[in-house]
Amino acid sequence: MLEVQGLAKRFALPAQKGRPLPQRDPRGHDGWFHAVRDVGFRCAPGEVLGLLGPNGAGKTTTLRLLSTALKADAGVAMVDGVDLLKNPLLARQRIGFLSGSTGLYGRLTARENVEYFGRLHGMGAARLKRRCDELFELLQMQHYGNRRADQLSTGMKQKCAIARTVVHEPQIVILDEPTTGLDVMSAKILLDFIASYKALRVPLVFSTHHLHEVEKLCDRVCIINHGKTAFHGTVDELRHLGGSADLYDAFIDVVSRPEAED
């Protein structure tokens, strides 16, 4: 079980040479931009949680905090009684994190990239070979495993990045917009792969702007708006709160409410 409470992160705003700071976003004040102010959610083993929100709401910052790529100013992220935010080395062992960029080395082949990340996690040769064979089959990557990463298409790179994210069989998987820019067939393969994690009893969190992905995959939803959790619950609870069976209309209703803005 992943339980996140009170997550917060601020960044110093650039000096304005004596001029007042712009107030386009309620999170910018006192010389700081409070990108994440109070985010909380939970994701149980075997659940998929969709992280939603308008552009700039704080989704990517939230995921980077959980991955320990950024250090949180406040909050906890508990897994089996351990606060991952206070134990970043342990967190990196337990979490598989896919950022907005693929993080691949262009001169290495697809398989070499995945193997490299496996070795960074201390995987032995036999286990690493078994795991790579398994992932390359699941993600339908066999035919380009020996091709250099800088020669791969966008979809191929993203599947390779997913493989290197989960090669060490993490206890929690976090994906930042994994299907962005993919064609229909590549996106379907990745969505099927995400769905397979329910059977593995691994909590999986992914951010997306595509509500049909949420409808197809997610057990729970967390909506972030202006750096705060505006909704956390099941997909049906979101429909009920938003007053519509249409997930798009329900989402718009939640993020448009005045109480969700500050």
Mean pLDDT of 159-178: 94
Considering the chain, what percentage of its residues have pLDDT values greater than 70? 94
Look at residue 29 in the predicted model and tell me its pLDDT.
Answer: 82
pLDDT at res. 23: 53
pLDDT tier at 237, thresholds 50, 70, 90: very high
Q: What's the N-to-C CA distance of the chain in angstroms?
A: 29
Which has the closest alpha carbon to 109: 143, 155, 137, 134? 143
Q: What is the pLDDT of residue 6?
A: 97
What mean pLDDT comes out for the span 175-185?
A: 88
pLDDT of residue 262: 43
Q: pTM to 2 decimals?
A: 0.89
pLDDT of residue 33: 92
pLDDT on residue 24: 64
Average pLDDT over residues 167-172: 95
Does residue 168 contact residue 140 with C-beta atoms inside 8 Å? Answer: no
Q: Assess contact for 4 and 66: CB atoms under 8 A.
A: yes
- Out of 34-48, 95-109, 197-211, which region has the weakest mean confidence (pLDDT)? 95-109
- Gap between the Cα atoms of 146 and 136, Å rounded: 11
What would the pLDDT profile of 74-100 be if each residue is shown by its tens digit?
999 998 888 999 999 888 889 999 987
Q: Do 228 and 57 touch, CB atoms closer than 8 A?
A: no
Mean pLDDT of 51-76: 95
Average pLDDT of every residue of the chain: 91
Place 259 in a pLDDT band, splitting at 50, 70 and 90: low
Residue 14 confidence class, pLDDT cut points 50, 70, 90: confident
Percent of the chain residues past pLDDT 90, beyond the cut: 77
| DSSP for residue 259 | G
Give the residue with greater pLDDT, 198 vs 53. 53
**pLDDT of 26 strictly over 90:** no
| Ramachandran category for residue 56: left, alpha or beta (phi over 0 → left; psi -120 to 50 → alpha) | left
Collapsed DSSP state (helix, strand, coil) of residue 130 = helix
Q: According to CATH, what is the number of the domain 38-103+169-260?
A: 3.40.50.300
- What distance in Å separates the CA atoms of residue 65 and residue 44, rounded to the nearest whole number? 19
pLDDT at 80: 81
pLDDT tens by residue, 118-158: 999 999 999 999 999 999 999 999 999 999 999 999 889 99
Name the amino acid, one letter, at 11: F
